[in-house]
Structure 1
Amino acid sequence: MVANRILVFFFIFIYYSTCFAQKATLLSIGKSEILHSKVLSEDRTINIYLPDNYNPNDSVRYPIVYVLDGGIDEDFFHISGIVRFVTQPWIDRFPQSIVVGIGGNKRRRDFTFPVENTDFIEREGFQKASFSSYGGSEKYIAFLKNELIPYLTRNYRTNGKQTLIGESLAGLFSTEILLKHPELFDDYIIISPSLWWGEEVLLKNSKKLLQHNLKKNVRVYLGVPNKEEDISMYNEALALSDVLRSEEKIDFVFDYMPDELHSTVIHQAVYNAFKKLYPKTYYSK
């Protein structure tokens, strides 16, 4: 008798478990695509978040937010979450946007420019061997300009407005694009950039590069963490801010975050960047 009751209970449990399981749905924040790059001679994973109302068949077009450290184990998820938050209709701080995260970067190769001598690497506290491959930023810029951006323009409803987000070495790379190819993006969110690369040569040439290359108005946010962690990086960012602030075509924001470290700063910085570059919300418009 007891055995029969246990058996009945078991079948009831299985029935209800199956019913509840059938009602479960998977949550999805985006999709991943593989893009082969002829410039880089390799495949790249492109992670894509689309706005809730995105419809490939309608006439609405969207800006794109590019996340350089955009792998699923990097910054794609949490930055997509920030974008989704600030674009909600009850906030409406930033336009509904596509977020594109680029995965599979070889950061020390892709985000650094060539240098004649690498002795400075050890003075910065790194081993030369850890930079066995470097100096590929020119190719990576070509990948963005000639392959990724055209690919997205062909396959998604984009409106040509573009934001670039980069932190640390990706911040160095974002700074290089701003100085050498500022026309590629409209908004630059640069966080704790590694301007020490090449003995600060990019920083030293920043004003001259901007004077030669900057032809349109851009927005630039420069965020840095607690200066006590690395006073040299802070001073380099401060020097860059002086140059950017002096340019009439740059709508510039400098943001010092003493409560953040180099390892934690990106999330708070991206949120602050949207807030400071786009201060008006639904309620303040």
Structure 2
Amino acid sequence: MKKLLLIPAIALCLINCETQKSPEKNVENDNTIVVGKKDQIFSDILQEEREIWVHVPESAMDESTEIARYPVLYLLDGDGHFYSVTGMIKQLSTTNGNTVSPEMIIVGIPNTDRTRDLTPTHVNEMFGDTIFPKTSGGGDTFLDFLEKELIPHIEKTYPASGYRTFIGHSFGGLAVINALVERPYLFNNYVAIDPSLWWDNQKLLKRAENVLTANNYEGKSLYVGVANTMDEGMRFDEVEKDTSEATDHIRSILQFAKATKSIEDNGLNFEWKYYENDSHGSVPLITEYDAVRFLFPWYELKGLDKFFDPASTASVEDLMSLIHSHYENVSANFGYKVLPPESFINQLGYAFIDNPKTQDKANALFSMNVQNYPNSSNVYDSMGDCYLAQQDSVKALELFKKALEVGENDYSQEKIDMLTENLK
């Protein structure tokens, strides 16, 4: 009999490793690990073929489970950030029993003409050793592409919900702020990473300060990450007083962050953070991690510790009430019904299965999965394991047979063979 750990996070981590029954859905063969696919869409608006990189959660690929809809994360400079963001979301949403973040469809948007698409206004002037292309200023047309072509394509082709997050770095961060200002209805969450708000003599920055003050952004969230682009030894107060081109980038972001933070009644859920140890190039990943923690504080189920405490009087009814109320809140935040994830409830059930004093909790959890995911072979197999732990071989055998009726799997057949031999 396995020892029941008192710390739920550790228990779920170990249980996850021990009870995972389905193969990795992103493993195409023994030599290939697939994290996403390349898709294409011809844009009538941009008059060009656009490649997009799409990651769909593994749970969506299990044909035996109920069809789920997933929130979508749209990622600018997609080919540069796709691998790190998909890995981070997987880590925070499923690995080791984590539920810090929801599973998400991730849509990476590679560039064709980056300056054209990500800048809101046109300039044609020298900046350092670079002359910006004459195509700059196509930001609103690019937003037309997102709104009228890309988003409808994603929501038609993939199991995508209408809950959307938009992330961009540098010029991409500028595009994110432009989207929040001009089309706040497009996304629920906006993440601007070291945005280039100096662009065109701070034209968008000045407009944003006015628009964000005048309008209501209830239900919208914005997270801004600021890199350390100051000269060594320089302080914020010195940057704010400085007028040189060298500090224009960080000075513009600080001006925006402080002005937005001071607005008290526009409903925007806003936070920003300065990353002293990160440059403009290194800041994206740490910002994306902190942004996810900021955007989804309501997603992780908390309060499970007491159910692992031998001295606690928390009942199975208390446990089920906690889970139901939590996912009602999650559903309210997403704007559509969200069921407790099958894999998470399955892992939690196994954390209770070996202790006779907590097997009623395991039974209730596995029963919840049977109700929510009746087309999954795994939920019946797990329910059978629960009866087997209670030494009810007859019911266990019925459940293992039911698992095979719903879908083929090797582990149920092995248990059927074992029980059949024992019952002779």
How many Å separate the matches in 1 of 2:179 and 2:256? 14
Tell me the CA shift for residue 118 of structure 1: 3.5
How many Å separate the matches in 2 of 1:213 and 1:150? 26
How many Å separate the matches in 2 of 1:85 and 1:141? 30
How many Å separate the matches in 2 of 1:138 and 1:179? 11
Match of 1:250 among 268, 274, 277: 268
1:25 matched to 2:57? The reply is no
Q: Deviations over 1:91-111 (max 9, x none)?
A: 211111100001233111111
Provide the secondary structure at the position in 2 that maps to 1:39.
coil
Counting matched residue pairs gives 256
How many Å separate the matches in 2 of 1:232 and 1:104? 25
1:103 matched to 2:119? The reply is no
Provide the secondary structure at the position in 2 that maps to 1:63.
strand
Tell me the CA shift for residue 234 of structure 1: 1.8
Tell me the CA shift for residue 31 of structure 1: 0.6
How many Å separate the matches in 1 of 2:197 and 2:83? 27
Letter in 2 for 1:176: N
- Of 153-162 and 89-98, deviating more is 89-98
Letter in 1 for 2:283: V
Match of 1:265 in 2: 283
More helix by share: 2
- Of 244-253 and 42-51, deviating more is 244-253
Q: Deviations over 1:61-96 (max 9, x none)?
A: 11000101102xx11111111111111162211111
Q: CA RMSD in A?
A: 2.1
Tell me the CA shift for residue 208 of structure 1: 2.1
How many Å separate the matches in 1 of 2:214 and 2:62? 39
Match of 1:148 in 2: 150
Provide the secondary structure at the position in 2 that maps to 1:44.
strand
1:61 matched to 2:69? The reply is yes
Match of 1:138 in 2: 140
Letter in 1 for 2:108: G
Match of 2:11 in 1: none
Q: Deviations over 1:146-203 (max 9, x none)?
A: 0000111111122210000000001111110011111110111110000111100111
User: 1:56, 1:156 within 8 Å by CA — same for their partners in 2?
Assistant: no
Gaps of 5+ in 1: 1-22
Change (3 A) 1:183 1:199: same
Tell me the CA shift for residue 261 of structure 1: 0.3
Change (3 A) 1:208 1:133: same
Letter in 2 for 1:108: T
Letter in 1 for 2:278: E
Provide the secondary structure at the position in 1 that maps to 2:59.
coil
How many Å separate the matches in 2 of 1:213 and 1:248? 6
Where relative contact order (Cα < 8 A, 6+ residues apart) is larger, the structure is 1
Match of 2:121 among 75, 90, 114: 114
Tell me the CA shift for residue 138 of structure 1: 1.2
Match of 1:20 in 2: none
Letter in 2 for 1:107: R
Provide the secondary structure at the position in 2 that maps to 1:165.
strand
1:232 matched to 2:270? The reply is no
Match of 2:94 in 1: 88
Tell me the CA shift for residue 126 of structure 1: 4.3
Tell me the CA shift for residue 214 of structure 1: 4.2
Provide the secondary structure at the position in 1 that maps to 2:33.
coil
Letter in 1 for 2:274: Y
Q: TM-score, normalised by structure 1?
A: 0.83
Q: Spell out the pairing of 1:136-215 with structure 2 (5 A cutoff).
A: 136-211=138-213, 214-215=216-217
Tell me the CA shift for residue 207 of structure 1: 2.5
Letter in 1 for 2:72: I
Tell me the CA shift for residue 25 of structure 1: 3.3
User: 1:69, 1:105 within 8 Å by CA — same for their partners in 2?
Assistant: no
Change (3 A) 1:215 1:272: closer
Higher Cα Rg, which structure: 2
